[in-house]
Amino acid sequence: MQISDRTAIAGVGATAQGKLPGRTPLDLGIEAFRLALDDAGLSRDDIDGLLTMPGTTSSEGSLHYLRFGEAAGLNPRFTGSMTMGGNTAGQLVQTAALAVAAGMASVVACVFADTAKTGGVRFDRASGGEVPWSLWGMMGAAANSAVAADRHMHRYGTTGRQLAEVAVACRYHASLNPNAVMREPITVEDHQASRWIVRPLRLLDCCLISDGGVCLIVTSAERARDLRRPPALIAGMGQAHTLQTLEKEDWWYVPHQKAALRDAFRMAEVTPEDIDVAQLYDNFTISVLLWLEHAGFCGEGEGGAFVEGGRIRLGGDLPVNTAGGNLSESYMEGWLHLVEGVRQIRGECGPRQVAGARHCLVTGRGMALNCANATILRRP
Amino acid sequence: MSEDRISKPLPPDSPATRPFWTAAAEGHFVVQRCTVCGHLRFPPGPACTRCLSPDMEWVPLSGRGTVLSHLVFHQAYSKAWAAEVPYSVVMVQLDEGPRLFSDVVDPERAFIEADLVGRRVEAVFDRVAEDMAVPRFRVMDE
């Protein structure tokens, strides 16, 4: 079955981001859903598919689709909820695309909302199952990426100043995005002066913690052509997961990402040279280096050198996270990376637009470095 | 029991992992060995992660290994660790193959500014109940 370019993201919606006291994940999700419908020029009754990711403060867990569907008045043909952390957004959009391509749904809403900021969520999960790593104080999302950064530094000579380049680029892009939470530009020295969280990661290596809601609407390319906005075709999709941790020697290097990217490039029939702009999942700065290496923008171990000299800033060879990313726009666990990808493809990003962007790579990664996906969006 | 263990949560007591903690109380670092293919696995699980056989035996390892990664936590993610920060966590490559995370015995906070990657370490056992201990690692002299 030919999948490439058969489906598209036809509508995107994002609420205000940041600290939103008094809001709930449910009402933020509904608002994002309404915004996405309006963006696409669709009505609620056009939706026959619903895929959701429960926020960290949503009590429903994997039953979240039930509560959201009830609140939104939806009785879809195709539904479910998934929890893969920062991998979920891309994985759900890809699932929606597969359902549309297979004829099991015609218009699928993918929804996420969270109030992690006002809810005081710490992202303190520990892996290890019955021998929890927390027994030794090894917990929190930062720690897993700190292993990746520490190993990368020892193996390839990557430096903290190189990690800083990622934070600086994301913040610069956020300064051009009126909806970003952190808009004050920073320097490499600011990064180096920020406090340790889990060495070798500093405060400015870390993503934000945010409230907000996001919705993406997936439909067939054919139908998307007749809607309100230019479609962002889903040209390439790939997923891969390393579910083992300690038993997999290079777990920290997230080797599965290579497979997810390879599949996405292959499906879209493009190469890294064709990518005009990229939204690379940045829970921590080190993650961007790993994506750049795994995608083939540079060689293994060369991510640190690649991000120097403004190469991933607007105007550089490969602008990355043009809305500010998880590090500076808002921590919507990668959902806003897809929104920005769509907006770049549509050419509606104003001062942060990459001129003539035709292909945008969007990636997602979640859990203890375990789960990854890559999506390539294409302008028709 | 060392002072800094008192406030920590006890290991979850499950039949599947109890031998690990009780062996630690007797001064041994044990892992499961598949009696079909010989694979040493950690963490403990119901089947061999290489051949899926449920047949296994617990075998003692040397408890020695090399530090693969050294993190220093300045952020306390739970109350149990609030009094400890900054503290070191290491990913240890055991000589016999398995890997694990552990903290480092460092009462003088001598390793907070250090880089332990590549250093040799050895398990020591911190008793947390009459028949349960938690293995931690001591940095061996160079």
- Could you report the per-residue pLDDT of A233-278, keeping only the tens digit for each? 999 999 999 999 999 999 999 999 999 999 999 999 999 999 999 9
pLDDT, position B142 = 76
The owner of tokens 């996001």 is A214
Q: Which of A128, A139, A150 sits opposite B78 (nearest CB)?
A: A139
Q: Give the residue on A whose Cα is nearest the Cα of B14.
A: A130
Question: What is the pLDDT averaged over residues B106-117?
Answer: 95
Q: State whether residue B109 sits within 8 Å of chain A by CB.
A: no
Is residue B6, in this structure, part of any structural domain at all?
no
**Contact status of B20 with chain A (Cβ, < 8 Å):** yes
Name residues whose C-beta falls within 8 Å of residue A108's C-beta, 6 or more positions apart in sequence: A47, A48, A49, A50, A51, A78, A96, A99, A100, A217, A218, A219
Of B20, B74, B78, the CB nearest to A198: B74
Q: Are A134 and B9 an interchain contact pair (Cβ–Cβ within 8 Å)?
A: yes
Q: What percent of chain A shows pLDDT beyond 90?
A: 98
- For A201, the enclosing helix (H) or strand (E) is strand A201-202
User: Which residue carries 């959009």 as its tokens?
Assistant: A93
Taking an 8 Å cut-off on Cβ atoms, the answer to whether B134 and A135 are in contact is yes
Return the structure tokens found at B70.
């050294």
Q: What is the per-residue pLDDT for A241?
A: 96
Average of pLDDT values for A211-229? Answer: 98
Q: Do B74 and A122 touch (CB under 8 A)?
A: no
Confidence of residue B26 (pLDDT cuts 50, 70, 90): very high
Question: CA A352, CA A126: separation in Å to the nearest integer?
Answer: 37
Q: How far is CA B32 from the centre of its chain?
A: 14
**Mean pLDDT, chain A, as a whole number?**
97
Helix (H) or strand (E) holding A40: helix A25-40
Cross-sheet strand order for the sheet of A232-241 = A78-81, A49-53, A107-115, A211-220, A7-14, A232-241, A371-378, A359-366, A277-279
Residue A22 CB partners (closer than 8 Å, separation 6+):
none
Contacts of B117 (CB under 8 A, 6+ apart): A150, A154, B67, B68, B69, B70
Q: Which residues on neighbouring strands pair with residue B67, listed in sequence order?
A: B92
Measured between CA atoms, the residue of chain B closest to residue A126 is B77
Q: Is residue B73 part of a domain?
A: yes
Distance from CA of A129 to the nearest CA of B (A): 8
Q: Is residue B19 part of a domain?
A: yes
Contacts of A130 in chain B (CB under 8 A): 12, 14, 16-17, 43-44
A65 is catalytic: no
Residue B128's domain spans which residues? 13-139
What would the mean pLDDT of B39-43 be, rounded to a whole number? Answer: 96
In this predicted structure, the answer to whether residue B2 has a pLDDT above a threshold of 60 is: no
Contact assignment for A128 to B71 by CB distance below 8 Å = no
| CB pair distance less than 8 Å for B12 and A198 | no
User: Would you place residue A79 in the very low, low, confident or very high pLDDT band (cuts 50, 70, 90)?
Assistant: very high
In A, residues 180-199, which contact B (CB 8 Å cutoff)?
195-199
Whether residues A199 and B74 touch (CB distance < 8 A) is answered with yes
- Say yes or no to pLDDT of A162 above 60: yes
Is A281 among the residues known to form the active site? yes
Task: Say whether residue A209 is in contact with chain B using an 8 A CB cutoff.
Answer: no
Whether A126 and A133 have beta carbons less than 8 Å apart is answered as yes
Asked if residue B6 has pLDDT above 60, the reply is no
Identify the closest residue of chain A to B31 by CA–CA distance. Answer: A131
pLDDT level of residue A130 (50, 70, 90 thresholds): confident
Q: What is the pLDDT of residues A170-195, one digit of tens each?
A: 999 999 999 999 999 999 999 999 99
Residue B81 maps to which CATH number? 2.40.50.840
User: For residue B9, what pLDDT band results from cuts at 50, 70 and 90?
Assistant: confident
**Is residue B44 within 8 Å of residue A130, measured between CB atoms?**
yes
ipTM passes above 0.85: yes
Domain boundaries, chain A: 7-120+208-378
* pLDDT tens figures, A298-354: 999 999 999 999 999 999 999 999 999 999 999 999 999 999 999 999 999 999 999
Alpha carbons B98 and A380: distance in angstroms, whole number: 50
Looking at residue A22, the DSSP 8-state letter turns out to be: T
B69 touches chain A (CB under 8 A): yes
Residue in A65, A156, A253, A281 annotated catalytic: A281
**How far does B75 lie from chain A, in Å, by closest CA?**
5
Q: How many domains does chain B have?
A: 1
B134 inside 8 A of chain A by CB? yes
Nearest CA to A336 out of A93, A122, A57 is that of A93
Q: Does A250 touch chain B (CB under 8 A)?
A: no
Contact status of B65 with chain A (Cβ, < 8 Å): no
Q: Mean pLDDT throughout A362-375? A: 96
| Res B3 pLDDT > 90 | no
Instruction: Determine contact, residues A363/A211, Cβ cutoff 8 Å.
Output: no
Query: Does the predicted TM-score (pTM) go above 0.90?
Result: yes
Per residue in A162-187, is it b (16+ CB within 10 Å) or e — as a string?
Answer: bbbbbbbbbbbbbbbbebbbbbeebe
pLDDT at residue B1 in the model: 45
Q: Does A249 touch chain B (CB under 8 A)?
A: yes
Residue type, B15: P
**CATH fourth-level superfamily of A7-120+208-378:** Thiolase/Chalcone synthase (3.40.47.10)
Determine the average pLDDT of the residues in B93-101: 97
Taking an 8 Å cut-off on Cβ atoms, the answer to whether A129 and B43 are in contact is yes
> A150 and B100: CB-CB below 8 Å?
no
